[in-house]
Amino acid sequence: MIILKIVRVVYQFMAQLQVPHAFEIMFAAQIINQYVLPFALWLAFTYKDVFKRAKAYICPICGAEKVGIVEHIKVKHGENALEDKRVKAMLEARTQRGVFKVSKVVEKLRLSKVGILDYIKKMFKAMLRKKN
């Protein structure tokens, strides 16, 4: 970005001296530096996060990104690998993601006629019990 800024300043000076096509190059360098390059850098650094496959998980044992993570663990690492602490933690986190959907929480609260604060307290107490 700094190099393009320097190129733009040089061609701006050359445009003031009325060098042919200097204004077009200066304008192109400014557009690239202001719009294209920041987006390209953002995309380069966040490519894996932006274009991550739906329901893809990273294997805690080998680091491979797979859609059917349980099947991958069974086939590649064996049945006993499901008893590994890292795998259990990943599978537990995967199953708990669905619990926090707003519609399910609202439905539970509506059916049980429990206030939201009471529900949150119970949920965190249950999470602490599981953790301990």
Q: Domain limits at 107? A: 101-132
In degrees and rounded to multiples of 5, residue 118 shows phi and psi of -65, -40
Residue type, 105: V
User: Is the full-model pTM beyond 0.85?
Assistant: no
Coil, helix or strand for 78? coil
pLDDT block averages, 10 residues each, the chain of length 132: 92 92 93 94 85 71 76 82 77 59 53 62 76 66
- The count of structural domains within the chain is 3
The β-bridge partners of 66 are 57
What pLDDT is recorded for position 14?
Answer: 93
99: which DSSP letter? Answer: G
Residues 94 and 105 in one domain: no
Residues 106 and 93 in one domain: no
Determine the Cα–Cα distance for residues 15 and 25; give it in Å rounded to an integer.
9
